[in-house]
Structures are given as C-alpha cells and as structure tokens.
A and B are shown apart, each in its own frame.
Chain A
Amino acid sequence: MSLLNFTFYFFCTMVAGSAITLLFVKNIFHAALALLSCLLGIAALFILCMAEFSAVAQILLYAGGVVVLLIFGIMLTNKSGAQPIAIGNTGIFGGVLVGGSLFFLMLFFVNKSIFILPIQKPSAESNTIKTIGVELLTDYVLPFEITGILLLAVLAGAATIAGFKPSKN
C-alpha cells in the first residue's frame, strides 16, 4: 500500500470516527470539537482529490467560521458557571431505524456499481483556481450574483434577529 493510499484511508477513518463520536458524545462542547476534526479530515480528503480551492474554502468557512459560531452559540445558551449542557436523546428507535435503513439503501446502490466510469487523469498544467475563477464569472455568473444577494440578506437578517431589543416596559 502506497503512502498516498495510506493517507487516504487514514483520513477516511478519521472522518468516519469523528462522525460516530459526534453521534455518541454527551458533552455538547466535545461534540463541537468532534465536528471540527471531522471537517478538517474532509478538507484533507478534498486535497487528496485534487480540489485544493475547495479544501481551503472548507477550512476557512467551516473550521474558521461555522464551528466558531457554533461554539459561541453553545456558550451563549449556557447558564454561567454551570456544567456544559448534557445532550439528551429522544426517539432513538425511530431515528436509528431511519438512519440505518437509509445507509444500507445507499450502500446497496453504491455496491451495484452503477456509477463506474473511467477516471480521466488530470492534465499536468491544469490550474484549478484559475479555472474555478473563470467558470464562476462565465458559466456560473447568475448563481454567483444570487449568492451575493443571499449573503447580504443573511447578514442583515442575522443581525436583526439576534440583535438585542430593549423591552417595552
């Protein structure tokens, strides 16, 4: 087994292990840390799949943005000085039934190998970031602009919803 394959399977195991930890962990802060390691492992898998730009965006947006936001949320919805919130479970039977059957259904279709196509080798001079930039401003310019409007709306909306409103009385 080559070093590349070993790294690939190592990160696959890391992502799967972190996700399973996220499912079973009791302390919500530890859950956020498990999510962080899961997202970093996924970024490493992106690099191994020749998607450097997506990997960097994954680290910047998820590990730097979403996880920090979630940790802020955990701290703000916690009574000061108290223990971190223990996560309860509800409807375990139904949840595991739905999730497990979905997983085995997808496993069945993956193993039927209907997705097998020849993988084309990337050309040596391919410049991923340049191609993505050109595609974003030519083929994908409409989704790109709509995303800009969406981000503006989200910025204003989040500030409006979460902002402190002084009570009337």
Chain B
Amino acid sequence: MPIQPLYILSALLLSIGLVIVIVKRNAIMVLMGIELMLNAANINLIAFNQKTPQTLDGQVFSLFVMIIAVCEAAIGLAIILQVYRHYKTSVPDEVTELKG
C-alpha cells in the first residue's frame, strides 16, 4: 500500500478534530472531535508499522491508544450526563459557575 496518502489523511483527520473541538458548542460533539484526533494518531502508527512489519510495535501501540480512547469516552460521557442533570444544558460555554 502507498504510505504517503495515509500521512495526508491522518493530518486531515487531526486538523478536522481540532477544529471540531474548538468550534462546536456541544460537549458530545467535542468528544467526537477528540475521538477523531486519536484515530488520526492510530492511522499514523499503523502506517509507520508497515515499514518494519516484523516487530508490530505500531500495532501494539495502536491498541493502547484505542483503550485510552474508550476510557476517555466513558468518563467524559459520565461527566457530561452529570453536568446535564445539574445545569439542564450540554453546552460547555453555559456552564460557568463552580458552586453547585
């Protein structure tokens, strides 16, 4: 497989994820942007692993990245649910007070 398009695709996914995290006014949408950025890192790891196919270091690292992403999604959604229960909104900009 050609590797160069995978680098460009990974760069595109990382940039789009960053724009989503910055721009969107919804906490769940921000989580989706973070998932996109982690997937961009995964694509890069798998693409570089093609250069040394005996060792499989990149694939093992991509597994760890996936596990961390799942943990982050679970905890993030739990926090978003609790914030929604308390403030009745899932827009991060409207959650401004610290004291319950």
Asked if A126 lies at the interface with its beta carbon under 8 angstroms from chain B, I say yes
CA A97 to CA B35, docked complex, whole Å: 21
In the complex formed, the residue of A with least CB distance to B23 is A95
Is there contact, CB below 8 Å, between A16 and B12? yes
- Give the Cβ gap from A37 to chain B, nearest Cβ, in Å: 12
What 1/0 flags go to A128-150 for Cβ under 8 Å of B? 10011001100010010001001
A residues 98-145 in Cβ contact with B at 8 Å: 98-100, 102-103, 106-107, 110, 115, 117-123, 126, 128, 131-132, 135-136, 140, 143
A residues 62-99 in Cβ contact with B at 8 Å: 62, 65-66, 69-70, 72-74, 76-77, 85, 87-92, 94-96, 98-99
Is there contact, CB below 8 Å, between B12 and A95? no
Asked if A3 lies at the interface with its beta carbon under 8 angstroms from chain B, I say no
Is there contact, CB below 8 Å, between B6 and A66? no
For the residues of B in contact with A, the DSSP-based class is: helix
Q: Within 8 Å CB of B91, what residues of A?
A: 88
Is there contact, CB below 8 Å, between B75 and A157? yes
Is there contact, CB below 8 Å, between B52 and A120? yes
Q: Within 8 Å CB of B71, what residues of A?
A: 150-151, 154
What 1/0 flags go to B1-41 for Cβ under 8 Å of A? 11111111101111111111011111011011001100100
Is there contact, CB below 8 Å, between A90 and B25? yes
CA A28 to CA B46, docked complex, whole Å: 30
Count chain B CB atoms within 10 A of each CB in A5, A19, A31, A122 and give the residue with the most.
A19
Is there contact, CB below 8 Å, between A22 and B77? no
Is there contact, CB below 8 Å, between B9 and A135? no
Q: Within 8 Å CB of B47, what residues of A?
A: 49
Q: Within 8 Å CB of B7, what residues of A?
A: 106, 110, 115
Task: List 8 extra interface pairs beyond A45-B9, A135-B56, CB under 8 A.
Answer: A19-B13, A28-B26, A70-B28, A123-B54, A136-B60, A150-B68, A161-B78, A162-B78
Query: What residues of chain B have their CB less than 8 Å away from a CB belonging to chain A?
Result: 1-9, 11-20, 22-26, 28-29, 31-32, 35-36, 39, 42-43, 46-54, 56-57, 59-60, 62-64, 66-71, 73-75, 77-82, 84, 90-91, 93
**16 examples of A-B residue contacts, CB within 8 angstroms:** A28-B29, A31-B29, A31-B32, A38-B36, A49-B47, A54-B66, A69-B74, A72-B77, A77-B90, A88-B26, A95-B22, A98-B19, A115-B3, A119-B51, A120-B54, A140-B60
